[in-house]
Structures are given as structure tokens and as C-alpha cells.
Structure 1
């Protein structure tokens, strides 16, 4: 396995492989997304690639096929209100959102094809996209319904905020291992 980091222009060349991995991972439990979501994700990826600070980590097999990917970008200030951001802002409050998340590197997606799991691919992808986090400030959202995903982030040293994010998805915020606010959180 080789992990390659690419920017917005570079990620477009891998869109089909990213879409295939996205469909393989996120149509399965616990995510259970509609298979059409993979096509929608690759469309969204083209827009996401334009975001400030966008980076993607790609795990490539020996034959060059995508076996996993991660995407990240800089969270804007002021903090957005679309997607799940509004729920996060209500859960954490404006002070913590401003101090902890705005201007930090936000990991948006991380997916590893089932056949490529167990070899450190997820950890390598996470490290690749967070390496340049300003002052170690990086964060992500995931669902508590994805128990193996939550365990993965904890093993990787990420700090789970004890404040639940309102809504049906059971979202939780994780701060990166070197995030300055992480030291004050329970493990």
C-alpha cells in the first residue's frame, strides 16, 4: 500500500476510485446510505476540492487502484451553519466553536475498503491529511452508532468530546491528538 497526499486538482483524477470505495463503505452498516449517495459524493468532492486548505490522502494498491481515502480542509470562520455544523455549534456553544474548530483542519471523510482493512491504512490516511494541522488543531465528526469507527479514533489518540451533538445521527466531535484543548478532556 502506498499513501499519496493530493490537493484539489490532483484528487479529480481519482474520483472514480474514491466513489467506488465510498459506496463500498458507506452503503454497508452502520451507515446504510443509498447507493446513489456514492455518485452524489463524487459530485460533492469536486466542490469540496475548492475549499481553502483542502487535502486528500489516497491509499493506492500495487495496481494503482484506490483502496482508501481521507479528505480534510480548513474550517471557515465564521463557523458555517449548513450540514451538521449548526448542530455542532448548538452543542458546543460559540466560544468553544470559535476557539477549538474555526480555522482548524476538519477531517470530512475517511474510508477504507473492507479488503484493505487491518493493515494500518486508516491510520496512515488520517496521519497524511492531519500532518499539517495548524498548531495541531484538527477535528472531525462521526456517529456513536459506528462503534468500530469510534474505537479507531480513540486508539489513534483522538479525544472524544463528552458533549453529544443533537440530532438522530448520534454525532460526536473528536479533537486530534495534538489539539491544544484535547489535553483537558477525559480519554
Structure 2
């Protein structure tokens, strides 16, 4: 595995290819590959320059990307683009500030089909979050990505309780090393 900062842009073509392969397969198979490629590439060009940006990439022995994870430090004010507004609706602005702002945000975690079931996703995630400020990290995913949601639960990530009556198609997870008194697991 290799760690990158903004120099991840030197492998942008390979990373975009892997991203498209992963995120146009089920359950995301309704996405157009060309549009997905263009959007990811544009986001990567911006995200690579966010404060605290890091990426960890696993390469196959013969070349090619097996899997990757990207993220950065969540800054204030909390974003409202993409799915971030739904996160605020789900948790409330005060809890977003408490739980997510200043924590390391996992933006993308992807493992190609041929590398799944090898523990690679767990290793990528662990490597990237090992230096999270105060051990605090978080991520969000789509509630219809059932295997993804199950993976995070198996690896010890916890869901903070939503506001009463709040519903969303996003699921927020806090890293095992993050602590919060209001997580859904009563043992947290």
C-alpha cells in the first residue's frame, strides 16, 4: 500500500478507472460510466487539495489498482453540497459540529471485485484512519448499499442515533475509536 497527499493526482487516470469499475457495479449500476468518470475526476482535482487530504492505494504486483481510500479533515462550516445536507438533517447541526467537524472524513473506499474478501478494505480503512485527529473519523454511505453497510458494522463502525423522526437514505458511521454517548449501540 502506498500513501498519497495531493500527489495522488499523478495516478488520477488509474484511480478514476478503478473508481468507475467499482461505483458503476451493483448497487450503483444505474450510474452512467462516462458521467461517473467525469464527476469523480473533477472532485479528485479539488479534494486532493483539501486540508489534511490523504489517500491510501493498494497496487497489484503486476500493476493496477486493487483498492483505495481517500479522505480529509472535515472543516467548519459543515458543507451543504452532495449528501452533506442530509447528514445535517439526520443528526442536527449541533451534533454534526460535535461529532464530525474536526474529524477525519472518509470520502471514498473502493475495492475491485477481484480483491474483495481478502481483508483489503479493512486494511485500507485502518491505515487511513490510524492518524485521525484524536482517533476521530467518520463516513457516510447509501442505505441501499447493503453489503457496504454490513461491512462497516462488522468492522466496528457505529451509527450515531438520528434525531427523532429524522429519516434519510444516507447512513453515517463513526470509527471504532470515535466515542459518542448517543450511538445506537447501547454498549458504546
TM-score for the superposition, normalised by structure 2: 0.90
**Which residue number in structure 2 is paired with residue 56 of structure 1?**
55
Partners in 1 of 2:162 and 2:40 — Cα distance?
A: 28
Residue 32 of structure 2 is matched in structure 1 by: 34
* TM-superposed deviation, 1:184: 4.5
User: Measured at CA, do residues 182 and 107 of structure 1 come closer, stay the same or move farther in structure 2, by a change above 3 Å?
Assistant: farther
In structure 2, the residue matched to 1:86 is: 85
2:161–2:182: 8 Å Cα contact kept in structure 1?
no
Change in CA separation of 1:132 and 1:34 when aligned onto 2, cut-off 3 Å: same
Aligned to 2:116: 117
Which is further off, 148-157 or 83-92?
Answer: 83-92
Taking the aligned partners of 2:24 and 2:170, their CA distance within structure 1 comes to: 18
Kindly tell me the number of residue pairs found equivalent between the two proteins. 182
CA distance in 2, matches of 1:182, 1:143: 24
**How far apart, in 1, do the equivalents of 2:55 and 2:144 lie?**
25
Unaligned runs of 5+ in 2: none
2:12 is equivalent to residue 18 of structure 1 = no
Q: CA RMSD in A?
A: 1.7
Match for residue 105 of structure 2? 106
Deviation, 1:161, is 2.8
1:143/1:6 Cα in 2 relative to 1: closer, same or farther (>3 Å)?
Answer: same
Question: What CA distance in whole angstroms lies between the structure 2 residues aligned with 1:149 and 1:83?
Answer: 19
Tell me which stretches of 4 or more aligned residues in structure 1 moved more than 4 Å. 164-167
Structure 1 residue 146 displacement after superposition: 0.8
Q: Any gaps of 5 or more consecutive residues in structure 1?
A: none
1:142–1:171 Cα contact (<8 Å) kept: yes
1:183 to 1:91, Cα distance in 2 relative to 1, 3 A: closer
Say which SS state the counterpart of residue 159 (structure 1) adopts: coil
* TM-score, normalised with respect to structure 1: 0.91
What are the superposed Cα offsets for residues 65-91 of structure 1, whole Å, 9 maximum, x if unpaired? Answer: 111111000111111112111111122
The answer to whether the 8 A contact 2:17-2:37 is kept is yes
**Aligned: 1:128 with 2:142:** no
In structure 1, the partner of 2:159 is 160
